[in-house]
Amino acid sequence: MIWYNIKGLEDLLINGKLSDKVAFNYLFIHVTLFTVTGYLPEGDGPFWATWAHLIISVVAVVWGVRKTFQINQAGDGKDYFKRFISLSFVAAINTIFVAFGLTFILVIFYFIAEYVFIPSNQFPVWKEIIQLVMYALLNVYYFYILISSFRRINAAGESTGAVEVA
């Protein structure tokens, strides 16, 4: 299983060398991690922030999944689920690394903002807004990686002379 190198995974998918067993492993780990994260303790954020997170998630998932399907259908139309499950796992790992970097930057920003620029009674609102923006950007980054991978797989299929399925 490839954990971080999305281009290596793309090559396996392009060449038809990703087995159903490996795709199942990606699905299993992905679903397991998704389930576990649903039980992590939530912050004491305001109600509006929870709904904003939900709306961002739903819009990103509906748009992103639909877009990947459309791109796959415009190409060879094959192995959508195998591609989606595998690529989404590796895209999520990449996104997690970016999230760690952004979190480090935000912690420094919070420290400076709380003690220098923003009055302490107004900081929690700004903190929630910044976290929502970061969450939205990470969703965009994740689907950017995923959609780009689907496009590269289609382009590779076209260059190898694959027949397009309408």
Confidence (pLDDT) at 16: 87
Tell me the mean pLDDT in the region 136-161: 89
* Range 27-43 burial, b when 16+ CB lie within 10 A, else e: bebbeeeeeeeeeeeee
Among 141, 149, 103, 135, CA closest to 5: 149
Q: Give pLDDT tens digits for 21-63.
A: 788 778 778 867 776 675 555 656 677 777 788 788 888 888 8
Query: Would you state the pLDDT for residue 79?
Result: 87
Q: How many CB atoms lie within 10 A of CB 8?
A: 12
Alpha carbons 68 and 79: distance in angstroms, whole number: 12
Tell me the CA distances in angstroms from 153 to 6, 59, 77, one per residue in order: 11, 25, 11
**pLDDT tens digits along 73-129:** 898 888 888 899 899 999 999 999 999 999 998 888 877 877 777 666 666 777 788
Q: Residue 157 and residue 160: Cα distance in Å, rounded?
A: 5
- The answer on pLDDT for 165 being more than 50 is no
CA–CA dist 158, 50 (Å, integer): 43
**Token pair in block for residue 43:** 């912050």
Q: So where are the chain's domains?
A: 6-159
| Comparison of pLDDT for 158 and 23, the residue scoring more | 23
**In the predicted structure, residue 136 carries a pLDDT above the cut 90:** yes
Amino acid 101: pLDDT: 94
Residue 155 has pLDDT above 60, yes or no: yes
At residue 161, the pLDDT reads 57
Do the Cβ atoms of 49 and 132 come closer than 8 Å? Answer: yes
